[in-house]
Amino acid sequence: MEAALKETKAKLKEVSGADLLIQALEKENVEVIFGYPGGAVLPIYDKLYDSKILHVLPRHEQGGIHAAEGYARVSGKPGVVIATSGPGATNIITGIADAMMDSLPLVVFTGQVATGVIGTDAFQEADILGITTPITKYNYQVRDIKDIPRIIKEAFYIATSGRPGPVVIDFPKDLAAGVAAVPAEEEIHLPGYQPTTEPNFLQVRKLSEAVSRAKRPVILAGAGVLHAKASNLLKEYAEQQNLHVVHTLLGLGGFPANHELFLGMAGMHGCYTANMALYHCDLLINIGARFDDRLTGNLEHFAPKAAVAHIDIDPAEIGKNVPTQIPVVGDAGEALRQLLVLEGNPPEQEDWAETLSAWKKDFPYHYENSEILKPQKVMELLYEKTEGEAIVVTDVGQHQMWAAQYYQLQHSDRWVTSGGLGTMGFGLPASIGAQLADPKACVVAVLGDGGFQMSTQELAVIAEFQLPIKIAIFNNKALGMVRQWQEIFYKERYSHSKNPVQPSFVKLAEAYGIKGFEIHTEAEAHSILDKVLHDKEPVLLDFRVDGAENVYPMIAPGKGIHEMVGVKK
């Protein structure tokens, strides 16, 4: 046996750490890497030069990691990122935290100084393990070339299994350049990491029985439904039991918005019907949502009359914010399959259904028309002219909420937004990843003028790859949501929320070889959208919208979910 082992080792060919990394990525079927080279990762980039994996060079590392997030959200595959050590690595910290909050699978490689000088404040050294520990699902630092295949295999498994999330691999330069004879990696063996995917059947049956007894049930569906690829199962179960569905911001698209059982988005800028359904229900069935504060408002007034059932693959989420009577730990898809088999008796809820129907009819989203271009009208036109089939990518702010309210998503994996961290500058690069994940899709990047100016350099990537993204800027010459809060809560004291100086966004686009249009009226919006939406080339659309427009309805901080303002009948 020992002789055979020696013979096997003798036959192994020595390869470099960088070779092992590229080989491992190819084994994981990685299609695209979003990366920015630098001194500490030059050995990796030298090997990448000969690889068939597509490499996308963002013009800023933060753009690269947001692009990887967009790719992961649409494709369901892990986004792969490479950054060099020190400032290159710290430039992607926001994106790592963003992915952690929104449960997006990323595998992130950061270059590190050579092992012999780690801890000496060497040039471009940063403690990436220490920095990323609170914002990653797991992180590694490679300390032996022979560990590289195992670490990468484990990283992809951890990032994509259970509740998805980002995994960081810190890669010292000398290990990337060094060589060793390394056997093929063995099977994954992680006894301390065993996510529960199969729900406890007795708990699922308890939930099924509670549904049969309920008089005012409602499903709250979050992004966990999308991560589990369970949209069709959710629709089937809702129809089987005649249950109405409310979505979180991140869960949009998990249930068709034109379905009669859909009530709309809940939360701070959610619709009246969805929020009142959560307030008055007697059984709340949470599937894959984490009860964040923008959804619940004041917890004292959240679903005060309801028994709460919570299905989540992450047991840490259950009972974290809202007391839960029926906990179900497991994959949302598996839980829905069990519920469908159990079937149970649909609840008797005629009065509840009539009430919900009346609210939907009487309290829709609304805005006042005027000669000034309204952002809500622009979203309605984008929905109408893309027939609801576009992938909608947003930045963060007022435009994000108008997109969530007025673009009626019918399918899963068509909605890309920064929900948990609320990262400005996310939208434009995320649209690059979304388009690469689905090259045939119509991708619309809905941005505010503030967020757009945080990542305008990524226009170069769009031009380089001729990605046919339609960049729709809602230009109100302000940080709109900040301005809205200053108007309402700070007596119109607009402290540094307006943009007195802006470049011509059209000329900026043209500088990158991208067509651009400035749009002031509804008639112009109709005409230009008809002209450009189905072009096979990128276009920038600078919509000059009403700068005084606010997002309503709204739940003020500290208020209950039933205390909305801006509701009109």
Residue pLDDT, tens place only, 98-139: 999 999 999 999 999 999 999 999 999 999 999 999 999 999
Note whether 534 and 387 are within 8 A (CB): no
pLDDT band at 568 (very low <50, low <70, confident <90, very high): confident
pLDDT in tens, 413-467: 999 999 999 999 999 999 999 999 999 999 999 999 999 999 999 999 999 999 9
CA distance 24 to 109: 13
Q: Quick one: pLDDT at residue 50? A: 95
Cβ neighbours of residue 410 under 8 Å, at least 6 residues apart?
Answer: 253, 256, 257, 258, 388, 389
Q: Is the pLDDT of residue 10 over 60?
A: no
pLDDT in tens, 305-358: 999 999 999 999 999 999 999 999 999 999 999 999 999 899 999 999 999 999
DSSP string of 36-82, one letter each residue: ---GGGHHHHHHHTT--SEEE--SSHHHHHHHHHHHHHHHSSPEEEE
What CA dihedral angle connects 298, 301, 303 and 309, to 10 degrees? 60
pLDDT band at 569 (very low <50, low <70, confident <90, very high): confident
Task: Examine the residue annotation and report whether 481 is marked as an active-site residue of this protein.
Answer: yes
Longest dimension (CA), the chain: 86
pLDDT in tens, 56-76: 999 999 999 999 999 999 999
Q: Quick one: pLDDT at residue 499? A: 86
pLDDT in tens, 467-501: 999 999 999 999 999 999 999 999 999 999 998 89
Note whether 168 and 85 are within 8 A (CB): no
pLDDT band at 543 (very low <50, low <70, confident <90, very high): very high
Q: Which of 27, 31, 124, 236 is catalytic?
A: 124
Note whether 176 and 18 are within 8 A (CB): yes
pLDDT in tens, 366-391: 999 889 999 999 999 999 999 999 99
Q: Which of 23, 28, 47, 61 is catalytic?
A: 61
Task: Examine the residue annotation and report whether 77 is marked as an active-site residue of this protein.
Answer: no
Work out whether the CA dihedral 265, 269, 271, 276 comes out positive or negative: positive
Note whether 128 and 168 are within 8 A (CB): yes
Note whether 77 and 71 are within 8 A (CB): yes
Least confident of 175-184, 207-216, 337-346, 515-524: 175-184
Q: How would you classify the pairing of strands 515-519 and 443-448?
A: unpaired
Average of per-residue pLDDT across 253-268: 97
Q: Is the pLDDT of residue 12 over 80?
A: no
CA distance 323 to 330: 18
Task: Examine the residue annotation and report whether 61 is marked as an active-site residue of this protein.
Answer: yes
Per-residue tokens: 497? 């929320």
Q: Which of 47, 137, 173, 374 is catalytic?
A: 173
Note whether 124 and 84 are within 8 A (CB): yes
Q: Quick one: pLDDT at residue 7? A: 59
Per-residue tokens: 86? 């020190």
Note whether 87 and 98 are within 8 A (CB): no
Q: Which of 6, 14, 26, 123 is catalytic?
A: 123
Across the chain, mean pLDDT equals 96
Q: How would you classify the pairing of strands 179-181 and 14-16?
A: antiparallel
Distances from the Cα of 511 to the Cα of 203, 221, 473, 540, angstroms: 59, 43, 17, 12
